A and B are shown apart, each in its own frame.
Chain A
Amino acid sequence: MILRTPPQRKRRAGSDADLDADLDLDLAAAVAVATGRTPVSDRRLVPYGRPTALVSASGPEEPSGDMVCTYHCRQMVKSEFVVALDTAEKAVQEYRVMLDTLEKQLSKSEDERNTYHDKLNYVEQDLAATKGRESALQERLLKELGEYQERYRQQVKKIGELEVKLNKEIDSRISAESSSASAKETVKELERAMQRSSENLEREKKALQKELSYMQDDSKLSISKLNAELERMSLRAQNSEKEAKMLNEQLEDMKKQLNECLREKNETELRLLDSTPFSVQRNPTDDQKLIKLLQEELRNYEKEVHEARRLKSSYTNFELLSEKLLEEQSRRKRAETELSKLQEIEAKAQKLELELASCTSLLGNMPDVSSYSNIADLQRQALTDLNKLGEVTSRLKELEVTLEFAEISKQRAEGEATFAKERAESASREVKRLELLLTAVSEERDRLRKDHNMLSNQKTRDGDDMSSKKMESELSQMEKVVRELDNTLHEQRELISQQHAELNLMNEKLSIEARKAKSLEREGDQLRSQVALLESKLGHGDYSASSTKVLRMVNTLAMDSEAKETIEALQAELKKTKERLQAIEELKGQADAGTVVDANVAEKLAQLKNQVATLEKREERYKAVFLERISVFRKACCSLFGYQIVMNDEQQPNGIHVTRFTLQSVYAQTDDEKLEFLYESGSTNIVVNGYTSQHEIAQQVDVFIRKMKSIPAFTANLTMESFNKRSIC
């Protein structure tokens, strides 16, 4: 057994010692417990791992109580050391396990840390994105705000314009009101004028009625006159008939007398022939002529009688005419009454027209006013008047029909009147002829008288006075008859003249009636035109709002088609608005998401901060634990393997990271006894330094590392050698 005294351990300075201080202390404590003293160069035992500074600081002034190891002591120490080594090894194993667990925990914590770091990064990215979105939104909002402000300004402008318009409208309304007031005044004036005109019309109507009544009275008077004259005429006709009969009878008597006269004449002629052949030769021719003349006269008289009969028939015709005239007069009266009604209706229609015109003018003047209660009343009146008008038109038609009848009858009457005129003319002509005849007869009578006187002279001379007397008496009778006929003729002439006068009157009346009929026709035409106008208005579709309501079906086909079109348009608009809404919602969603993200981020941030804080705490704790553990581990490693390991990361000039491990044996006698290794990608190489370049060490490096390629063997051998050196020393 090689006993080696451990070399005198010097105290190490530097930061590397701090980490393994506890471990060293523990080991030293264990050694100290086992030995009580540590061997040093001055034969005193120095506790292992104690910092040299402390020792050196306290060394010269206060020499420690550790005693220098003796041989016996060394043996004891060795056994104790072995025990302590075992315990230390166990502890190292425990520590290793602990280290493993800690490493696992560390790796876990590192993973967690990484994940949390990733999360943090993610959250930060989110935060940045949200910030970006927020800024975009803010920009959009600003833009929208600007647009809204512009719109607001425009609206304000519009409002201003509208206010101006409103003011204008108000002004126009005021003007309209003033115009309506003026229109009302005009309406009132018109109403007054209407009243005046209606009063005038009433007055005129009354005057006309008076005239009409006068006319009626006149016509009545004339009719009564005519009737009286007609009666007179009829009586005269009757008288004339009677006279004619009488005359006929007288004529017959005259004929008889003539026959007797002729007979007597023949007798006298015969006598005369017998008595005076010269006178007889001359006289019979004269007598025959006379007789012929007388016969002619008789024939003429007969003709006159016929004419008288004709005249009688004309009288009867006159009677018929008078009756017809009466009928016509009654018709005329009816027509006049209807005319008065027509005038009234015309006046009403004119009133209505005026009112309507005034209303339309009023409506024209007042553009905003659509209806007045007065207008409605007027319209109602107009409607009622229209109904009346309808009735009137029917009456008018009836009147027209009666007028036509009257015209026809008038024409007939005119024809008859002309016929009667012609007859009267013919009668007058005949009268003239009769007069001429009468004059001729009277001349012949005178001649006959003269002849008769001549004859009577002759008879007186001849002694035939009796027959001549008879003849004279007959002649005187004849004269009387002729006078009577003259008288009747004269009367008839008078009658004819009267009839002429009546006919003239009738003609005048007829002309008046014709004029009236024409005026009626004119009025009828006017009324017809008015009716046509009103009918056209009605046909046009006008209606009174007070009595009539115009309705239409709500869901008409036009409406349906319109509705379809509008629905389509609305649907299109709806689509657009939906799209807009979606866009806005998206924007809002983004904004909300941003805010939510913000809120979430804040929350998350808070959480993460908490987590980070906890993690940091944990990390600190882990660090602390790790430091504790690593220090334990290092101490354990140091105590177990006899080397203090210092690890440093280095960057080579070529940029490759290299880990430098610096090992210092616990048995190293100087600080320069350090082994340096570079760990690079799984391979560990020894770095040549002053210590390793020493011959003894360089040989070991060559043997163990370069030849045997075992660093642990090299370190173990070196540890043993240095331990021996120390223990031997």
Chain B
Amino acid sequence: MASRSASKDIITLKGSAAIVSEFFGYAANSILYNRGVYPEESFAKVKKYGLPMLLTQDEAVKTFLTNLTSQLSEWLEGGKLQRIVLVIMSKATSEVLERWNFSIITDGEVVEKGVVKEKSDKEIMREIQAIMRQVNSCISFLPCLDEPCIFDVLAYTDSDTTVPFTWMESDAKLIDNPQMVKLHSFDTKIHKVDTLVSYKVDDLDEQ
């Protein structure tokens, strides 16, 4: 996981990047499970952040997420990543139904000078746990996904970032007039991650 020094409270850029990318991996898995993008049987339970988390066993999704998280940690280490967005779309119409927005604010001083920050592992884990709990509880207010859905991950990077071979430029896949719910955020003192879910307002709800 995070590369920590002897003292538990010290956190490096690399460690912070690893925490954030790992968090995103687990968050994505949790969202995919909770929103029913993939069948329930394809998930296995593991314990993480003091919570029972569900991880996909689908090899294709697994490899996709591992590739994704490795690339994200690379960008996070370079301080190039501004935002990660997990987009849930309709399989039939490709209409964007939900956007799980993870805004990342990187401490520029750490990236430029390699300064080490202090924050306890426990505290970070507690913050992440709170977000995960909120992600799990989001089913209560998010509209039902009745149709088969697919997901996609967008990375908002700095404009000077070189596009990797397996990545390509894309549109923002926005939702018109979305409903937004801000979730908790966590801070490693190097990366601050704000979570927000925006979703297409259900017509029935509107009525």
Chain A contact residues, CB within 8 Å of chain B: 536, 538-543, 545-558, 560-561
A539-B101, A541-B101, A557-B151 known; A548-B159 Cβ under 8 A: yes
Give Cα A549–Cα B171 distance, bound, in whole angstroms.
9
| Contacting pair A548 B82 (CB below 8 A) | yes
Which of chain B's residues have a CB closer than 8 A to the CB of A561?
A: 91, 150
| Contacting pair A552 B158 (CB below 8 A) | no
Give Cα A543–Cα B159 distance, bound, in whole angstroms.
11
Any A CB within 8 A of the CB of B122? no
Which of chain A's residues have a CB closer than 8 A to the CB of B161?
A: 549, 551
Interface residues of B in 157-204 (CB under 8 A from A): 157-159, 161, 163, 166-175, 178, 180, 182, 196, 198
A544 to chain B, nearest CB (A): 9
Give Cα A555–Cα B65 distance, bound, in whole angstroms.
12
A134 to chain B, nearest CB (A): 53
Any A CB within 8 A of the CB of B89? yes
A548-B157, A550-B156, A558-B152 known; A539-B172 Cβ under 8 A: no
Any A CB within 8 A of the CB of B14? no
Question: Per a CB cutoff under 8 Å, which of A546, A548, A558, A560 touches B156?
Answer: A548
A549-B156, A557-B61 known; A543-B89 Cβ under 8 A: no
| Contacting pair A543 B172 (CB below 8 A) | yes
Chain B contact residues, CB within 8 Å of chain A: 60-61, 64, 67-68, 71, 82-83, 85, 89, 91, 99, 101, 103, 150-159, 161, 163, 166-175, 178, 180, 182, 196, 198
Which of chain B's residues have a CB closer than 8 A to the CB of A550?
A: 154-157, 169-172
Give Cα A110–Cα B151 distance, bound, in whole angstroms.
86
A264 to chain B, nearest CB (A): 90
Give Cα A545–Cα B171 distance, bound, in whole angstroms.
10
Give Cα A539–Cα B154 distance, bound, in whole angstroms.
14
B145 to chain A, nearest CB (A): 15
Which of chain B's residues have a CB closer than 8 A to the CB of A556?
A: 64, 152-153
Q: Which 5 A-B pairs have the closest CB atoms?
A: A558-B150, A552-B170, A551-B167, A539-B196, A551-B155
| Contacting pair B89 A540 (CB below 8 A) | no
A546 to chain B, nearest CB (A): 6
Q: Secondary structure at chain B's binding surface: helix, strand, loop or mixed?
A: strand
Q: Secondary structure at chain A's binding surface: helix, strand, loop or mixed?
A: mixed
B58 to chain A, nearest CB (A): 9
Question: Per a CB cutoff under 8 Å, which of B60, B67, B85, B150 touches A541?
Answer: B85
A554-B167, A558-B151 known; A549-B64 Cβ under 8 A: no
Which of chain A's residues have a CB closer than 8 A to the CB of B101?
A: 539, 541
A539-B182, A547-B158 known; A553-B67 Cβ under 8 A: yes
B92 to chain A, nearest CB (A): 12
Which of chain A's residues have a CB closer than 8 A to the CB of B172?
A: 541-543, 550
B73 to chain A, nearest CB (A): 15
| Contacting pair A551 B163 (CB below 8 A) | yes
B168 to chain A, nearest CB (A): 5
| Contacting pair A551 B154 (CB below 8 A) | yes
Name the residue of chain B whose CB is nearest to the CB of A552: B170
Which of chain B's residues have a CB closer than 8 A to the CB of A539?
A: 101, 180, 182, 196, 198
Which of chain A's residues have a CB closer than 8 A to the CB of B178?
A: 540
Name the residue of chain B whose CB is nearest to the CB of A545: B159
Which of chain B's residues have a CB closer than 8 A to the CB of A555?
A: 64, 166
| Contacting pair B157 A547 (CB below 8 A) | no
A547 to chain B, nearest CB (A): 6
A552-B154, A560-B60 known; A541-B99 Cβ under 8 A: yes
Name the residue of chain A whose CB is nearest to the CB of B150: A558
Which of chain A's residues have a CB closer than 8 A to the CB of B83?
A: 543
Which of chain B's residues have a CB closer than 8 A to the CB of A557?
A: 60-61, 64, 150-151
Which of chain A's residues have a CB closer than 8 A to the CB of B64?
A: 553, 555-557
Which of chain B's residues have a CB closer than 8 A to the CB of A546?
A: 159
B67 to chain A, nearest CB (A): 7
25 A-B contact pairs sorted by A residue (CB < 8 Å): A539-B180, A539-B198, A540-B198, A541-B198, A543-B156, A549-B169, A550-B154, A550-B172, A551-B156, A551-B157, A551-B169, A551-B170, A552-B153, A552-B154, A552-B155, A553-B64, A553-B67, A553-B168, A555-B64, A556-B153, A557-B61, A557-B150, A557-B151, A558-B152, A560-B60
